[in-house]
Protein backbone atom coordinates (compact mmCIF):
# COMPACT_ATOMS: atom_id res chain seq x y z
CA UNK A 1 0.00 0.00 0.00
CA UNK A 2 1.12 3.53 -0.72
CA UNK A 3 0.56 5.95 2.14
CA UNK A 4 -0.92 9.34 1.25
CA UNK A 5 -2.02 10.07 4.78
CA UNK A 6 0.83 12.48 5.40
CA UNK A 7 -0.88 15.06 3.20
CA UNK A 8 -4.51 14.18 3.85
CA UNK A 9 -6.56 14.35 7.02
CA UNK A 10 -8.13 10.93 7.37
CA UNK A 11 -11.33 10.28 9.29
CA UNK A 12 -10.56 9.40 12.91
CA UNK A 13 -11.93 6.79 15.26
CA UNK A 14 -13.47 9.66 17.24
CA UNK A 15 -15.47 10.70 14.16
CA UNK A 16 -16.69 7.15 13.57
CA UNK A 17 -17.81 6.90 17.18
CA UNK A 18 -19.46 10.32 17.03
CA UNK A 19 -21.40 9.17 13.97
CA UNK A 20 -22.40 5.97 15.77
CA UNK A 21 -23.71 8.06 18.66
CA UNK A 22 -25.79 10.21 16.29
CA UNK A 23 -27.18 7.10 14.59
CA UNK A 24 -27.96 5.28 17.84
CA UNK A 25 -31.67 4.55 18.03
CA UNK A 26 -32.17 5.90 14.51
CA UNK A 27 -30.28 3.55 12.20
CA UNK A 28 -30.53 -0.23 12.35
CA UNK A 29 -27.55 -1.98 13.89
CA UNK A 30 -27.51 -4.76 11.31
CA UNK A 31 -26.48 -8.22 12.55
CA UNK A 32 -23.71 -10.50 11.44
CA UNK A 33 -25.36 -13.60 9.97
CA UNK A 34 -23.42 -16.85 9.73
CA UNK A 35 -23.31 -18.14 6.16
CA UNK A 36 -22.66 -21.86 6.01
CA UNK A 37 -20.56 -23.60 3.34
CA UNK A 38 -19.69 -20.48 1.37
CA UNK A 39 -16.12 -21.57 0.73
CA UNK A 40 -14.91 -24.87 2.13
CA UNK A 41 -17.21 -25.72 4.99
CA UNK A 42 -14.47 -24.92 7.49
CA UNK A 43 -13.69 -21.20 7.17
CA UNK A 44 -16.29 -19.27 9.20
CA UNK A 45 -18.05 -16.68 7.03
CA UNK A 46 -20.56 -14.05 8.06
CA UNK A 47 -22.49 -11.50 6.03
CA UNK A 48 -23.36 -7.97 7.16
CA UNK A 49 -26.80 -7.44 5.56
CA UNK A 50 -27.20 -3.70 5.00
CA UNK A 51 -30.36 -4.35 2.99
CA UNK A 52 -31.95 -4.50 6.46
CA UNK A 53 -30.93 -0.88 7.01
CA UNK A 54 -33.53 1.89 6.79
CA UNK A 55 -33.91 2.82 3.15
CA UNK A 56 -32.71 -0.63 2.10
CA UNK A 57 -28.97 0.14 2.02
CA UNK A 58 -25.98 1.33 4.04
CA UNK A 59 -26.37 4.85 2.61
CA UNK A 60 -28.75 5.95 5.37
CA UNK A 61 -25.86 5.97 7.84
CA UNK A 62 -23.89 8.62 5.99
CA UNK A 63 -26.90 10.67 4.92
CA UNK A 64 -28.33 10.92 8.42
CA UNK A 65 -24.93 11.73 9.92
CA UNK A 66 -24.48 14.52 7.35
CA UNK A 67 -27.92 16.06 7.91
CA UNK A 68 -27.62 15.77 11.69
CA UNK A 69 -24.60 18.07 11.59
CA UNK A 70 -26.21 20.80 9.48
CA UNK A 71 -27.36 24.04 11.02
CA UNK A 72 -31.18 23.78 11.44
CA UNK A 73 -31.66 26.84 9.21
CA UNK A 74 -29.59 25.21 6.45
CA UNK A 75 -31.58 22.00 6.77
CA UNK A 76 -34.85 23.92 6.54
CA UNK A 77 -33.67 25.46 3.27
CA UNK A 78 -33.51 21.99 1.76
CA UNK A 79 -30.96 19.46 0.61
CA UNK A 80 -30.01 18.27 -2.87
CA UNK A 81 -28.34 14.92 -3.56
CA UNK A 82 -26.95 13.35 -6.74
CA UNK A 83 -27.38 9.57 -6.69
CA UNK A 84 -27.74 6.42 -8.74
CA UNK A 85 -30.47 5.40 -6.31
CA UNK A 86 -29.55 4.31 -2.79
CA UNK A 87 -28.06 7.64 -1.66
CA UNK A 88 -31.19 9.34 -2.99
CA UNK A 89 -33.46 7.20 -0.85
CA UNK A 90 -31.22 7.64 2.17
CA UNK A 91 -31.19 11.44 1.85
CA UNK A 92 -34.95 11.48 1.26
CA UNK A 93 -35.53 9.48 4.44
CA UNK A 94 -33.09 11.49 6.55
CA UNK A 95 -34.63 14.74 5.29
CA UNK A 96 -38.12 13.51 6.13
CA UNK A 97 -37.01 12.63 9.65
CA UNK A 98 -35.70 16.20 10.07
CA UNK A 99 -38.70 17.77 8.36
CA UNK A 100 -36.56 19.16 5.54
CA UNK A 101 -37.33 19.28 1.80
CA UNK A 102 -35.19 17.07 -0.42
CA UNK A 103 -34.41 16.99 -4.13
CA UNK A 104 -32.54 14.05 -5.60
CA UNK A 105 -30.86 13.96 -9.00
CA UNK A 106 -30.98 10.46 -10.46
CA UNK A 107 -29.90 8.96 -13.81
CA UNK A 108 -32.34 8.57 -16.66
CA UNK A 109 -31.61 4.84 -16.37
CA UNK A 110 -32.57 4.65 -12.68
CA UNK A 111 -34.37 1.45 -11.70
CA UNK A 112 -38.07 1.66 -10.96
CA UNK A 113 -37.51 0.49 -7.39
CA UNK A 114 -34.98 3.18 -6.57
CA UNK A 115 -36.94 6.04 -8.13
CA UNK A 116 -40.18 4.92 -6.49
CA UNK A 117 -38.39 4.60 -3.16
CA UNK A 118 -37.14 8.19 -3.27
CA UNK A 119 -40.56 9.51 -4.29
CA UNK A 120 -42.32 7.46 -1.62
CA UNK A 121 -40.04 9.04 0.97
CA UNK A 122 -41.06 12.52 -0.15
CA UNK A 123 -38.20 13.60 -2.39
CA UNK A 124 -38.55 15.53 -5.62
CA UNK A 125 -36.82 13.52 -8.36
CA UNK A 126 -34.86 15.22 -11.15
CA UNK A 127 -33.36 13.06 -13.89
CA UNK A 128 -30.00 13.92 -15.46
CA UNK A 129 -27.88 11.85 -17.83
CA UNK A 130 -26.41 8.48 -17.00
CA UNK A 131 -23.07 9.19 -15.30
CA UNK A 132 -22.02 10.34 -11.84
CA UNK A 133 -20.64 13.51 -13.44
CA UNK A 134 -23.99 14.25 -15.13
CA UNK A 135 -25.78 14.00 -11.80
CA UNK A 136 -23.25 16.04 -9.87
CA UNK A 137 -23.29 18.85 -12.42
CA UNK A 138 -27.09 19.05 -12.39
CA UNK A 139 -27.18 18.95 -8.59
CA UNK A 140 -24.71 21.84 -8.41
CA UNK A 141 -26.84 23.78 -10.90
CA UNK A 142 -29.89 23.29 -8.68
CA UNK A 143 -27.98 24.47 -5.62
CA UNK A 144 -26.97 27.59 -7.53
CA UNK A 145 -30.47 28.19 -8.88
CA UNK A 146 -32.57 27.29 -5.85
CA UNK A 147 -30.29 27.31 -2.83
CA UNK A 148 -30.02 24.45 -0.39
CA UNK A 149 -27.16 22.21 0.68
CA UNK A 150 -25.52 19.60 -1.51
CA UNK A 151 -25.30 16.19 0.18
CA UNK A 152 -22.34 14.48 -1.54
CA UNK A 153 -22.72 10.75 -2.15
CA UNK A 154 -19.25 9.68 -0.98
CA UNK A 155 -16.37 12.19 -1.16
CA UNK A 156 -16.95 13.80 2.23
CA UNK A 157 -15.56 12.99 5.68
CA UNK A 158 -18.98 13.18 7.38
CA UNK A 159 -20.41 10.72 4.85
CA UNK A 160 -17.37 8.45 5.27
CA UNK A 161 -17.74 8.60 9.06
CA UNK A 162 -21.38 7.53 8.83
CA UNK A 163 -20.69 4.66 6.45
CA UNK A 164 -17.75 3.61 8.62
CA UNK A 165 -20.12 2.70 11.45
CA UNK A 166 -20.62 -0.53 9.49
CA UNK A 167 -16.97 -1.27 10.24
CA UNK A 168 -17.30 -0.29 13.90
CA UNK A 169 -20.12 -2.78 14.32
CA UNK A 170 -18.17 -5.57 12.63
CA UNK A 171 -15.13 -4.98 14.86
CA UNK A 172 -17.29 -4.86 17.98
CA UNK A 173 -19.37 -7.92 17.13
CA UNK A 174 -16.49 -10.03 15.78
CA UNK A 175 -13.21 -8.79 17.29
CA UNK A 176 -11.40 -11.85 15.95
CA UNK A 177 -12.30 -10.94 12.35
CA UNK A 178 -9.54 -11.83 9.89
CA UNK A 179 -10.83 -10.75 6.46
CA UNK A 180 -13.48 -8.21 5.43
CA UNK A 181 -14.78 -7.76 1.90
CA UNK A 182 -16.49 -4.47 1.09
CA UNK A 183 -18.02 -3.19 -2.18
CA UNK A 184 -16.43 -0.21 -3.94
CA UNK A 185 -18.52 2.37 -5.77
CA UNK A 186 -17.51 5.98 -5.23
CA UNK A 187 -15.67 4.78 -2.16
CA UNK A 188 -17.54 6.06 0.90
CA UNK A 189 -18.42 2.66 2.34
CA UNK A 190 -15.09 1.03 1.51
CA UNK A 191 -13.10 3.96 2.90
CA UNK A 192 -15.10 4.13 6.12
CA UNK A 193 -15.25 0.40 6.79
CA UNK A 194 -11.54 -0.09 6.11
CA UNK A 195 -10.48 2.83 8.33
CA UNK A 196 -12.77 1.90 11.21
CA UNK A 197 -11.80 -1.77 11.26
CA UNK A 198 -8.07 -1.08 10.93
CA UNK A 199 -8.33 1.31 13.89
CA UNK A 200 -9.78 -1.44 16.08
CA UNK A 201 -8.43 -4.65 14.50
CA UNK A 202 -5.16 -3.67 12.78
CA UNK A 203 -4.33 -7.27 11.83
CA UNK A 204 -7.54 -7.68 9.79
CA UNK A 205 -7.25 -7.86 6.01
CA UNK A 206 -9.50 -5.46 4.07
CA UNK A 207 -10.41 -6.19 0.46
CA UNK A 208 -12.35 -3.89 -1.85
CA UNK A 209 -14.57 -5.50 -4.48
CA UNK A 210 -15.68 -3.70 -7.64
CA UNK A 211 -17.32 -4.68 -10.94
CA UNK A 212 -14.90 -5.58 -13.71
CA UNK A 213 -16.84 -3.15 -15.93
CA UNK A 214 -16.16 -0.27 -13.50
CA UNK A 215 -12.53 -0.68 -12.32
CA UNK A 216 -12.11 2.88 -11.04
CA UNK A 217 -10.25 1.89 -7.85
CA UNK A 218 -8.08 -0.71 -9.59
CA UNK A 219 -7.07 1.90 -12.17
CA UNK A 220 -6.50 4.51 -9.46
CA UNK A 221 -4.22 2.23 -7.45
CA UNK A 222 -2.20 1.47 -10.57
CA UNK A 223 -1.88 5.19 -11.32
CA UNK A 224 -1.38 6.32 -7.72
CA UNK A 225 -4.25 8.82 -7.98
CA UNK A 226 -7.97 8.80 -8.86
CA UNK A 227 -8.61 8.13 -12.55
CA UNK A 228 -11.84 9.05 -14.31
CA UNK A 229 -13.15 6.27 -16.54
CA UNK A 230 -14.72 7.21 -19.86
CA UNK A 231 -17.81 5.15 -18.98
CA UNK A 232 -19.04 2.29 -16.83
CA UNK A 233 -21.84 -0.23 -17.24
CA UNK A 234 -23.20 -3.42 -15.79
CA UNK A 235 -25.68 -5.02 -13.41
CA UNK A 236 -24.23 -3.51 -10.22
CA UNK A 237 -25.72 -0.04 -10.80
CA UNK A 238 -24.82 1.13 -7.29
CA UNK A 239 -21.10 0.59 -7.99
CA UNK A 240 -20.76 2.26 -11.39
CA UNK A 241 -19.13 5.53 -10.38
CA UNK A 242 -16.60 6.65 -13.00
CA UNK A 243 -14.09 7.78 -10.36
CA UNK A 244 -13.43 7.22 -6.66
CA UNK A 245 -13.45 10.32 -4.48
CA UNK A 246 -10.11 11.92 -3.62
CA UNK A 247 -10.62 11.65 0.15
CA UNK A 248 -11.93 8.12 -0.25
CA UNK A 249 -8.85 7.14 -2.26
CA UNK A 250 -6.57 8.41 0.49
CA UNK A 251 -8.31 6.01 2.89
CA UNK A 252 -8.11 3.18 0.35
CA UNK A 253 -4.38 3.65 -0.02
CA UNK A 254 -3.85 3.71 3.72
CA UNK A 255 -6.20 0.92 4.80
CA UNK A 256 -7.24 -1.39 1.93
CA UNK A 257 -4.97 -4.38 1.50
CA UNK A 258 -6.26 -5.39 -1.92
CA UNK A 259 -8.95 -4.80 -4.53
CA UNK A 260 -10.47 -7.44 -6.81
CA UNK A 261 -12.76 -7.34 -9.84
CA UNK A 262 -15.94 -9.37 -10.25
CA UNK A 263 -17.69 -10.10 -13.55
CA UNK A 264 -21.42 -9.53 -13.90
CA UNK A 265 -21.81 -13.22 -14.72
CA UNK A 266 -21.14 -14.08 -11.07
CA UNK A 267 -23.64 -11.72 -9.47
CA UNK A 268 -27.03 -13.28 -10.18
CA UNK A 269 -26.01 -16.71 -8.90
CA UNK A 270 -24.88 -15.15 -5.61
CA UNK A 271 -28.14 -13.20 -5.38
CA UNK A 272 -30.00 -16.50 -5.70
CA UNK A 273 -27.69 -18.14 -3.15
CA UNK A 274 -28.50 -15.40 -0.62
CA UNK A 275 -32.21 -15.78 -1.26
CA UNK A 276 -32.17 -19.57 -1.10
CA UNK A 277 -29.78 -20.02 1.83
CA UNK A 278 -30.19 -16.92 4.01
CA UNK A 279 -33.61 -15.65 2.85
CA UNK A 280 -32.03 -12.28 2.01
CA UNK A 281 -32.90 -10.18 -1.04
CA UNK A 282 -29.80 -8.47 -2.44
CA UNK A 283 -29.49 -6.17 -5.42
CA UNK A 284 -26.53 -6.99 -7.72
CA UNK A 285 -24.29 -4.44 -5.98
CA UNK A 286 -25.20 -5.97 -2.64
CA UNK A 287 -24.15 -9.48 -3.67
CA UNK A 288 -20.76 -8.63 -5.17
CA UNK A 289 -18.64 -9.41 -2.09
CA UNK A 290 -20.23 -12.84 -1.66
CA UNK A 291 -19.68 -13.45 -5.38
CA UNK A 292 -15.98 -12.70 -4.93
CA UNK A 293 -15.74 -15.19 -2.07
CA UNK A 294 -17.66 -17.93 -3.81
CA UNK A 295 -15.55 -17.54 -6.94
CA UNK A 296 -12.33 -17.90 -4.96
CA UNK A 297 -11.13 -14.41 -5.87
CA UNK A 298 -10.33 -13.58 -2.24
CA UNK A 299 -8.58 -16.07 0.04
CA UNK A 300 -10.37 -16.03 3.37
CA UNK A 301 -7.83 -15.60 6.14
CA UNK A 302 -9.49 -16.30 9.46
CA UNK A 303 -13.11 -15.41 10.30
CA UNK A 304 -14.43 -13.60 7.24
CA UNK A 305 -17.17 -10.98 6.75
CA UNK A 306 -18.76 -10.02 3.44
CA UNK A 307 -20.52 -6.64 3.59
CA UNK A 308 -23.78 -6.77 1.61
CA UNK A 309 -24.42 -3.15 0.70
CA UNK A 310 -28.12 -3.15 -0.15
CA UNK A 311 -31.27 -4.76 -1.49
CA UNK A 312 -33.14 -2.15 -3.47
CA UNK A 313 -34.51 -4.20 -6.33
CA UNK A 314 -38.15 -4.62 -7.26
CA UNK A 315 -39.98 -7.91 -7.85
CA UNK A 316 -40.02 -7.47 -11.61
CA UNK A 317 -36.25 -6.90 -11.54
CA UNK A 318 -35.69 -10.10 -9.59
CA UNK A 319 -37.91 -12.06 -11.97
CA UNK A 320 -36.03 -10.74 -14.99
CA UNK A 321 -32.63 -11.60 -13.52
CA UNK A 322 -33.54 -14.97 -12.07
CA UNK A 323 -35.44 -15.99 -15.17
CA UNK A 324 -32.23 -15.74 -17.14
CA UNK A 325 -29.99 -17.38 -14.55
CA end-to-end span of the chain: 38
Neighbouring CB atoms inside 10 A of 319's CB total 10
| Gyration radius (Cα) of the chain, Å | 18
Catalytic residues: 59, 309
Mention every residue, 6+ apart, whose C-beta is less than 8 A from residue 211: 232, 234, 235, 236, 239, 240, 261, 262, 263, 264, 288
Q: Answer for the pair 238, 309: CB distance below 8 angstroms, yes or no.
A: yes
Q: 3-state class of 225 per DSSP?
A: coil
Phi-psi region of 122 (alpha: psi -120 to 50; beta: other; left: phi over 0): left
Q: Answer for the pair 174, 32: CB distance below 8 angstroms, yes or no.
A: yes
Neighbouring CB atoms inside 10 A of 276's CB total 9
Q: 3-state class of 317 per DSSP?
A: helix
- Give the number of residues written for the chain: 325
Amino acid sequence: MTSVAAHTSLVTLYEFRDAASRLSGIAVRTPLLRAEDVIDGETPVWVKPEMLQRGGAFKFRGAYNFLSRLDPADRAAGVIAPSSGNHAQAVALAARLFGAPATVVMPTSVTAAKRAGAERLGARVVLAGTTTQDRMERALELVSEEGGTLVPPYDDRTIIAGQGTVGLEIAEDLPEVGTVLVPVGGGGLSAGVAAAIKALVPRARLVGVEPSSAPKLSRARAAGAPVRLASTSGLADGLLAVEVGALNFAHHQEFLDDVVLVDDSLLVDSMRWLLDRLKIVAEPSGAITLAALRAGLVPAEGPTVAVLSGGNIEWSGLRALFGNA
